[in-house]
Structure 1
Amino acid sequence: MVYDNLDRLARYSFLNENICTVIKYLKEHSSEELLALPAGRYDVDGENCRLFKQSFESKPIDEKGFELHTKYTDLQIVLGGIETCYIDFVNDQNAYPGYDEEADLCLYPHQVDGRIILYPGVFALLEPNDGHLPQRRYGDTPVHVEKLLFKLRNAPA
């Protein structure tokens, strides 16, 4: 997992070559354009890099289980609002049954190891074995969040 200022994203391109595609995409689109983008899925570079524009109200922690992915790394960038993303460091993905290969998703009961706060100007890069519970409230009150979720295809092992 990487949590850093967005202006330092290029430092981590060695972790996933598709980060360079995201950087190019962000340079080609203004913040205003990205905020105005309707919620939904957008192909940035076919199956290598997909964008999910999200617009939601932050949720309480107990609403759903943690997520794990295998094929894709999540790059999460909040454009507006603030959210908490809870983290669970997973040693063995195989210990969690119920992986849906088509959705590249395994949901499991939460085991909080830590948390990060996502707000404009920072990003989180969540790789396989980085269990995460995004879209949660920062504080007690729900907040409207506008977010970019890039799905970056992982290189074959």
Structure 2
Amino acid sequence: MILGNINHLNLVPYLPAKIKQSIEYIKDNVNQNTPIGRYDIDGDKIFFMLSDSSTRHIDKANPEYHQKYIDVQIVLDGQEGMAINTLPPYTNRLDDQLTTNDIAFVETPKEETLLVLHSNDFIVFFPNEVHKPLCAINNNINTVRKVVIKIALGNL
């Protein structure tokens, strides 16, 4: 997991080149006027989804993880709570869609920690890193404009 801000990539010089290039692509090409939807950067190897989503109470969501894609989540506007876990996805799988959609949902682990992402913050999740996006901050539901970049694991 790597945390940073898209306007200060120099503070994370160890970012793999493909991740850095993808974040820079978003900085240069996505703004408030960009329609929500899926956009290909390099076909199914690198693509992103732009959304306007509502946050939710932390107890109303289940953590997720992926196996085939690196997940780069960028908050463009708003604040988002991101619950994370530094342990492997060892809790019970509630919904396994790894073969079809590269996502599995698990029970919330006891070791969950909530981070707050502000506008222009990003977080990178590598395969098997458990995370719960779109959590409300202080129980305040709001709208977040965000990008989720998917980078195929073998494409770094």
TM-score range, shorter chain: 0.7 to 0.9
Query: What runs of 5+ residues in structure 2 fail to find an aligned partner?
Result: none
Q: Is the 8 A contact 1:93 1:129 kept in 2?
A: no
Q: Is the 8 A contact 1:76 1:149 kept in 2?
A: yes
Q: CA deviation at 1:63?
A: 1.7
Q: How many residues align?
A: 151
* Larger CA deviation: 108-117 vs 5-14: 5-14
The verdict on how the C-alpha distance between 1:53 and 1:27 changes in structure 2, with shifts beyond 3 A counting, is closer
Q: CA deviation at 1:13?
A: 3.2
The runs of 4+ residues in structure 1 deviating greater than 4 Å are 92-97
Percent of pairs identical after alignment? Answer: 25
The verdict on how the C-alpha distance between 1:81 and 1:155 changes in structure 2, with shifts beyond 3 A counting, is same
CA distance in 2, matches of 1:151, 1:121: 17
Q: CA deviation at 1:93?
A: 6.2
2:8 matches 1:3: no
CA distance in 2, matches of 1:79, 1:127: 21
The verdict on how the C-alpha distance between 1:62 and 1:27 changes in structure 2, with shifts beyond 3 A counting, is closer
2:135 matches 1:136: yes
CA distance in 1, matches of 2:68, 2:128: 11
Give the letter aligned to residue 32 of structure 2.
Answer: L
Q: CA deviation at 1:48?
A: 1.4
Give the letter aligned to residue 105 of structure 2.
Answer: L
Q: Is the 8 A contact 1:21 1:45 kept in 2?
A: no
Q: Is the 8 A contact 2:51 2:147 kept in 1?
A: yes
Q: Deviations over 1:23-72 (max 9, x none)?
A: 4413532xxx4222222111111111111001011111122211110001
Query: What runs of 5+ residues in structure 1 fail to find an aligned partner?
Result: none
Q: Is the 8 A contact 1:49 1:152 kept in 2?
A: yes
Q: Secondary structure at the match of 1:21?
A: helix
Give the letter aligned to residue 55 of structure 2.
Answer: S
TM-score, scaled relative to structure 1: 0.84
Q: Is the 8 A contact 1:18 1:48 kept in 2?
A: no
Q: CA deviation at 1:83?
A: 0.8
CA distance in 1, matches of 2:91, 2:78: 35
2:68 matches 1:67: no
